[in-house]
Amino acid sequence: MKVSTTIADTRAAIAKARAEGARIGFVPTMGALHVGHLSLVERSAREADFTVMSIFVNPLQFAPTEDLSRYPRPLEEDERLASEAGVALLFRPGVAEMYGAHRTITVTAGSLGSRWEGKSRPGHFDGVLTVVAKLFNIVQPDVAVFGQKDLQQAALVRAMVHDLDMPLAIAVSPVVREPDGLALSSRNRYLSPDDRRRATLLSRALREVRERFDAGERSVHALEEAGKRIVATESGVELDYLAVIDQRTFENPDVAESGNSAIIAARVGSTRLIDNMTLGRNDQD
Ligand code: AMP
């Protein structure tokens, strides 16, 4: 695996692979790699010949009150995991390389970016889309792989690629979970043993919603209330939102249908976690 820290070196390595006829796959991450990230590398290997992974903790997508400075950065372990997973090129730029002086342009997420995660984290998705647009321009992949774990992010990236006519395909890969249901996340490292146990409440609430849907309940209000009742069984878990949404618009229907998603965000101790499950299709979770 080659490691690059500059845009120029990254472009040169990719140009060489492309000249040899390789199809380029791209997996953008913030590092602190876990099996969820590695599943995206596996997906890229199925779709492309040469996988580029980026590791960049993007300051633009963190609010001043959030965990930018304490976000985990296990550099050596990440490098080993990426290499073992089959990444051909690891792009690990510093902040100065990505955001030089005189920067004025950002990508704006629009209405899809102002609901749910966007409402709770103002400016977050503008930061995400700006860095993803930059990374797409640096790597120029044939296909980029994102996790369904960040469902709204994946929808926004698809919308950006469509609306701005970016010439690449987007693949979205299923949520990878611990055996007890907790979705893998770099932020799970922050959880105390007690909070780790409480954190299973998110996936349990989503399962409850999905099971009620499978049993025939179609009222979005009733489905959401059933999920919220599960969250309320534990103290120490502060619900931000639990909702049934249309996967494309992220609007709340009155009547749920197959292919809608149940989405949740909650603070467990001081750690904010998100998760989601698709309704009516059990193949994904
Ligand atoms: P992050 O490093 O948290 O920015 O995540 C990088 C990519 O990994 C994003 O596309 C995430 O959606 C994806 N990802 C994170 N956690 C998981 C998971 N548990 N299962 C599948 N993909 C994931």
User: In this predicted structure, what is the pLDDT of residue 142?
Assistant: 98
Q: 0.85 cut: is pTM over it?
A: yes
Residue 262 Cβ < 6 Å to ligand 1: no
Look at ligand 1, atom 12, and give the residue with the nearest C-alpha. 147
Cβ atoms 134, 164 nearer than 8 A: no
276 lines ligand 1 (CB under 6 A): no
165-181 average pLDDT score? 98
Work out the percent of the chain whose per-residue pLDDT is above 90.
96
pLDDT at 283 over 60: no
pLDDT (tens digit per residue) in 265-280: 999 999 999 999 999 9
Instruction: Report the chain's mean pLDDT, rounded to a whole number.
Output: 96
Cα 56 to Cα 59: distance, rounded to the nearest angstrom: 9
Mean pLDDT in residue range 134-151 = 98
- With a 6 Å cutoff on the Cβ, whether 37 touches ligand 1 is yes
Residue 124 annotated among the catalytic residues of the structure: no
**Pocket of ligand 1 contains residue 199 by CB under 6 Å:** no
Q: What is the DSSP track for the chain?
A: -EEE-SHHHHHHHHHHHHHTTPPEEEEEE-SS--HHHHHHHHHHHHH-SEEEEEE---GGGS-TTSSTTTS---HHHHHHHHHHHT-SEEE---HHHHS-SS--------GGGSSTHHHHSTTHHHHHHHHHHHHHHHH--SEEEEEGGGHHHHHHHHHHHHHTT-SSEEEEEPPPB-TTSPBP-GGGGG--HHHHHHTHHHHHHHHHHHHHHHTT--BHHHHHHHHHHHHTTSTTEEEEEEEEE-TTT----SB--TT-EEEEEEEETTEEEEEEEESS-TT--
The whole-number pLDDT of residue 285 equals 47
Tokens of 72: 């985990």
Q: Which atom of ligand 1 is nearest to the CA of 33?
A: 2
> Does residue 147 have its Cβ closer than 6 Å to ligand 1?
yes
* Residue from 37, 102, 162, 221 carrying the catalytic annotation: 37
Q: What pLDDT shows up at residue 281?
A: 75
CA distances from 60 to 64, 68, 78, 227, 276 (A): 10, 10, 22, 32, 24
Q: Which of 149, 182, 274, 284 to mutate to test the pocket of ligand 1 (most atoms within 8 A of CB)?
A: 149
pLDDT in tens, 62-107: 999 999 999 999 999 999 999 999 999 999 999 999 999 889 999 9
> Which residue's alpha carbon is nearest to atom 17 within ligand 1?
36
What integer is the mean pLDDT of 112-128? 97
Please give the number of the atom of ligand 1 that sits closest to the Cα of 147: 12
Inform me whether the pLDDT recorded for 227 exceeds 80: yes
What local confidence, expressed as pLDDT, does residue 282 receive?
53
Q: Is the pLDDT of residue 216 over 60?
A: yes
- Does residue 258 have a pLDDT over 60? yes
